[in-house]
């Protein structure tokens, strides 16, 4: 499986990546973000939301698990760090087919529930400002997004 790498040297680079990916968005798009604390998962999500025309403040849904926002498409922002085995009870997978864009922080915690077609983004911290985004597309549509965005 091909992976794509994008090195962000500052917040502007991360915003640019989020905007490029957002410009290729489509209903039922799923983006899975993984990386250690402070790697920029929520920052990336905020930049993506702004590009979608969402004016509400986007904050990490750590204790809510899911926050919904309205923009050009609905955006469903999930933080599944504390979900453990409650995925079925929370109805998380229902969001994948609701016609919006779903962005999942800590997606590796629910990997057995993720849709087959999705975009995995692992964020690696290099130093205080530098991040390497490793994008792994699952499905032709996501390959095309990576090709168009990077």
pLDDT in tens, 99-138: 999 999 999 999 999 999 999 999 999 999 999 999 999 9
Two tokens at 145?
A: 């997004």
Domain range list for the chain: 4-149
b/e code 124-134 from CB counts within 10 Å (16+ = b): eeeeeeebebe
Query: Hey, which bits of 35-148 come out as E strands?
Result: 66-70, 74-79, 101-105, 118-125, 131-138
In sequence order, what are the residues at sequence separation of 6 or more whose Cβ sits closer than 8 angstroms to the Cβ of residue 126?
7, 132
**Largest interatomic CA distance in the chain:** 40
Architecture of domain 4-149: 3-Layer(aba) Sandwich (3.40)
Q: Which residue has the tokens 């849709």?
A: 115
Q: Alpha-carbon distance 88 to 113, whole Å?
A: 9
Residue among 105, 123, 108, 104 at smallest CA distance from 6:
123
pLDDT in tens, 3-38: 999 999 999 999 999 999 999 999 999 999 999 999
pLDDT band for position 58 (50/70/90)? very high
Q: Length of the chain, please?
A: 150
Is residue 75 a contact partner of residue 69, using CB atoms and an 8 Å limit?
yes
């Amino acid at each position: 499986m091909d992976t794509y790498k994008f090195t962000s040297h500052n917040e502007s680079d991360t915003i640019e990546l989020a905007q490029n990916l957002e410009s290729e968005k489509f209903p039922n798009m799923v983006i899975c973000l993984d990386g250690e604390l402070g790697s920029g998962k929520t920052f990336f999500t905020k930049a993506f939301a702004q590009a979608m025309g969402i004016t509400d403040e986007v904050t990490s849904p750590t204790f809510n698990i899911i926050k919904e926002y309205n923009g050009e498409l609905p955006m469903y922002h999930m933080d599944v760090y504390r979900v453990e085995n409650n995925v079925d009870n929370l109805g998380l997978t229902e969001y994948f087919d609701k016609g919006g864009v779903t962005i999942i922080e800590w997606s590796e915690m629910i990997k057995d529930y993720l849709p087959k077609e999705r975009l995995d983004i692992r964020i690696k911290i290099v130093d205080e400002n530098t991040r390497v985004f490793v994008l792994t597309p699952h499905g032709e549509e996501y390959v095309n997004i990576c090709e168009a965005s990077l």
